[in-house]
Amino acid sequence: MEAEFFIEMPTRTGEKFKGHDLYNSGDQQLRWSAHFPLPSIGARIFITMNSIGWANVEGYFREEGFVGVMTKAENPPQWLREQRLREATSPNYQTHEWLRRGIGCQFGAEIALEQPAPRLIKTA
């Protein structure tokens, strides 16, 4: 199934499937992979994936039976800014306009509502 971007905000069904909350999206039921409800557009969330940091929810997407959030990072790490610049300036790179504007996609398991505590690192 191909991903769909900037879908209407799904509505919570109150049901679960394999531990995931279910949301209605058109004629589909989608799973949300976080332990908190789907954030609304404009909500401030923390992207834990790749230590990206604080971001704002810009929209929603669906892929492979899951709903995710489309976000714009407030202060993306240098590596992500450089990657986006390379992609935007490559003549062979074809992408969505929203990607060129710095909007990314995350599933619920890749975000948090607050900044997680730093992990303790054990040394030998």
> What share of the chain in percent tops pLDDT 90?
71
pTM attached to this predicted model: 0.88
In this structure, of 23-27, 45-49, 98-102, 112-116, the range with the lowest mean pLDDT score is 98-102
Distance separating the N- and C-terminal Cα atoms of the chain: 46
The pLDDT value recorded for residue 124 is 55
* Rounded Cα gap, residues 91 and 102, in angstroms: 18
What single DSSP character describes residue 51?
Answer: G
